[in-house]
Structure 1
Amino acid sequence: MIRAHRRTIGTLAAAGALLTALALSGCATTHAGQTPTSPNAADGPITSSEATDRGAAGAKQDPVAQAPAADVSALSVSRVQIPSIGVDAAVEPLERDASGVLLPPVEWEDAGWYRAGVLPGQVGPAVIAGHLDTTLREAVFVHLKQLVAGDQVTVTMSDGSTATYAVDRAIDVEKKTFPTEEVYGPTPDAQLRLITCNGPFDDAADTYANNYVVFASLVGTTP
């Protein structure tokens, strides 16, 4: 259950957030290794047996272009848990297609980790993205906006080790003005970014106008 009277970090951090209702194209997937350009790229392919995932995370962004890459030959991310909003989800590795687009999770109920970026628990901003909804139902990150500062996120790696983060803040941003450096730029400590779509949905254009990004800092690890 969602805590009905929680004050969300979207409220606490929204003073500078952009909340313009625009009819852009589909909840565009993430561009890696490029600077933000037009927000109206088509969605990457989604092959889930579920109906179309309308709320894939991301816009044309630059995931961890300057951050140290994780060694994913030995470790990957297997699960993400966010008790305060009822998330306990498998995590798929996210890859880029030939044009540099970061493909969204295949399954609506899964989150996805950008595997060419930072491994959770390591220095830099690890990135986990998830769908907001599908045409039939809510998806893994539908309640991301309910998070408040201090809520914990635990990420489990393939070897059973964990990295736990505490939520700091969140921003709601228009995709065409996505703050690439703020979200994906290098950090002196271990950070986590949780990303989904937000804003008004235009059925004709098959799009959400905004991205919602949660920022969190590492508070503990287990081997």
Structure 2
Amino acid sequence: MKNKYLSVAALALSTFLFVGCDDEDIKDFFPKPSDGDSKNWDIINFEMYKTGFLTEVKSSNGTGPIMVNAMRRQSNGTYANGNHAMIFNTHTPTGDDTDLFTGIHHPQGYDLSKVLIINQDMNSTPNDNQYGGTMTLDFSSMGTVTLHELTALDIDKYENMSYVRLYGANNRMLLEKKLMNMGNNSVQVVDLGNTSGVMRLEVTLDGTNNGMPAGSGAIDNIKFMKD
């Protein structure tokens, strides 16, 4: 949930604590990215892009293009027209999205820098959409890929219907993985099971807050290799 009252400076202090989670809880729920066989994995980390809208990306090794789309859900549950895929800088949150901050003083020491969000409108200022939606990365230009893991940021307690889904040929679902709804500023590394034959990755941010659709959050560090 967006906090309209906290500044980034305040986040650098004790306001970064997770409500209801002690240190052991946090250690259990926030694994670090795996390093195993890392030389074989390519990664999409969005670092080469400026904040703003985009329709395609390449990996850190220049693999691509990988088409990107973000469907923005509206307060009435319907989806808006247009591609709302936006690069967001977690070092300097805009749009009052202090819950997407990472960097120095993050409780788990995460520094994600640039991430992908669903923007709440078509204005140029990054501002994640509180009502949720679906982010899609299409790998089909390179045939199929094997997906290893991705990182998700800020899946709130009430966003308990948020999922990662992987699709192959003929729109066949290969994997469905529920995201942990751990709260503001939370970071989780999602194991995608080294699933091969993937043509499309979808991340749906979904839940209900006070009777309204909810689903703010971001993704980063998508590890894959060409099949």
Alignment TM-score, normalising by the size of structure 1? 0.31
Alignment TM-score, normalising by the size of structure 2? 0.31
Bigger RCO (CA 8 Å, 6+ sep): 1
Whose Rg is larger?
2
